[in-house]
A and B are shown apart, each in its own frame.
Chain A
Amino acid sequence: MRYLTPVLLGMALLALWEIWVSAASIPVFILPPPSAIGAALVDNFASLIAALWVTVKVTAAAFFWAAVSAIGLAIIFTRARLIEMALYPYVVTLQVTPVVAIAPLILIWVGFDNVSRALVIIAWIVAFFPMLTNTVQGLRSIDPQLHDLMRLSGANWWQRLCYLEMPAALPSILTGAKISGGLALIGAVVAEFVAGSGASTGLAWRIIEAGNRLEIATMFASLALLSALGIVLFYLLSFCEWLLLHRWHESFRRG
């Protein structure tokens, strides 16, 4: 029922859309029927998949670097209060400044010889912050008695990190990862929009290009692929979460 009901609802809405478009004779360059979108997807399949792959690479790279840098910085923050106090305002500044406004600068600085690197950096800025705050939060909420236990066992900082801090913070890190995964995709799309045609070859650029040519069905097809990518990403990360936590974490306890 959990899977069947949304599928049935989706199919009903698509059918309604198809009937309504043809009954009201809405022109295809305003709203194409689902059948036309499907046809556009099939016709441009090779080029759309190539574009999808470009976006996937940018998103994955941005997410990877966001995870590595956020976890690394979170560990430094929780070990050295002074570094946190010095750096935190700048991290927040980076987060609150709209990325669309910074993107042109980054494209000028790094985009001339390597556009994809500029795209990754822009998407990284968007994905980084939730990962950082969640990891810091996870590391901070470790029971102080567990730290005492590690001290009494004579654990060095590396043992403390591996045996206590990383596993204890894992639920928070994975929550951050789920948010950051979606944001990395949004960041990649924004970056492609700002980079514009010629520079970028991803799905977002295909949307702009198709829009310029009034190929609305192709626009919708690209959009559908982007949504599908976001959904896959979310469930992939949810699956990782389940894999790592279901044995022991309270959130997976059956009621």
Chain B
Amino acid sequence: MTALALNAASLQYDNGFTALRDITAEFTRGSFTALVGPSGCGKSSLLRLLAGLEPPSTGSVSGLAQSDIGFVFQEPTLLAWRSVADNITLPLKIEGHSQNEIAARLAEALQLVGLADFADALPRQLSGGMKMRVSLARALAKRPPVLLMDEPFAALDELTRFRLDDDLRAIWQQQNCTIVFVTHSVTEAAYLAERALVMQDGQLKSALAIDQTGRADNFRSAPNYMAACAELSKALGHEAGTG
């Protein structure tokens, strides 16, 4: 079953810049897709199109209502004057859920990202990785069928990123949601996703299914993961190396 689909969609901004050209793609329900490409290739624009933040100039997007979409931005994008709990519950409050419902979802979201002890902390008291967890929790609290993530871990150090990658995989399996994950990192795409879409100059260049064998063990040293990295690098125009 398809959760999201783009049909020959293009996006041209008001200043005349064409960010996306004729993109057709499908995202099946419960799938984990990585969008990979160099900076400025249109990955973020594609995500904004899927979120309904931009309308396509031509073509169509068939997706969900914005209330069914959890969006995680490149930066934590937290409100500095609200506590962790108040940041996470803000979208629920705006959507008008009951107090009990909000409290239950808050507890669940905090649990999922491992921040149960930090509900009353203010964003400035948290590290970069923790802020990103809050941002993720805020998206998850909506219990969205679709999670769109725009290079969420790009600004974090590698160890924190590895840990968040693992946590995200676990959350994905537990929540059974559809994830579209934008990244410029070949290794992150290969590690996280089941499928990687390679973008260049506003176009989809290729799609690569990532062999999932060896997931149960240490996937970062699995040969098929290495192979996927190499293949993705090649698709991006690098002869060797793992990006």
A interface, CB within 8 angstroms of B: 143, 145-146, 148-155, 159, 163-164, 167-168, 170, 247-250, 253
Chain B residues numbered 78-97 whose CB sits less than 8 Å from any CB in chain A: 79-81, 90-91, 94-95
> Is B62 interfacial (CB 8 A cutoff)?
no
Extra pairs beyond A145-B74, A153-B95 (15, CB < 8 Å): A143-B77, A146-B77, A148-B53, A148-B71, A151-B66, A152-B71, A153-B90, A153-B91, A154-B67, A163-B79, A170-B81, A247-B81, A248-B81, A248-B122, A250-B124
Report which B residues bind A (CB closer than 8 A).
51, 53, 66-67, 69, 71, 73-75, 77, 79-81, 90-91, 94-95, 122-124
How many angstroms between the C-alpha atoms of A151 and B53 in the bound complex? 8
The docked-state distance in angstroms from the alpha carbon of A153 to that of B73 is: 14
Complex: chain B residue closest to A156, CB-CB: B94
A250 to B122, CA, bound (A): 12
Is chain B's binding surface mostly helix, strand, loop or mixed? mixed
A167 touches B94 (CB 8 A): no
Question: Given A151-B66, A152-B66, do A163 and B94 touch, yes or no (CB 8 Å)?
Answer: yes
At the interface, is chain A mostly helix, strand, loop or mixed?
helix
CA distance A167 to B79 in the complex (A): 9
Contact, CB under 8 Å: B124 / A152 = no
Find out whether the CB atom of B124 lies under 8 angstroms from the CB atom of A248.
yes
Q: Please give me the 6 A-B residue pairs with the lowest Cβ-Cβ distance, nearest first.
A: A153-B91, A153-B94, A248-B81, A145-B77, A145-B73, A155-B94
Q: In the complex where A148-B53, A152-B51, A154-B66 touch, is A159 in contact with B94 (Cβ < 8 A)?
A: yes
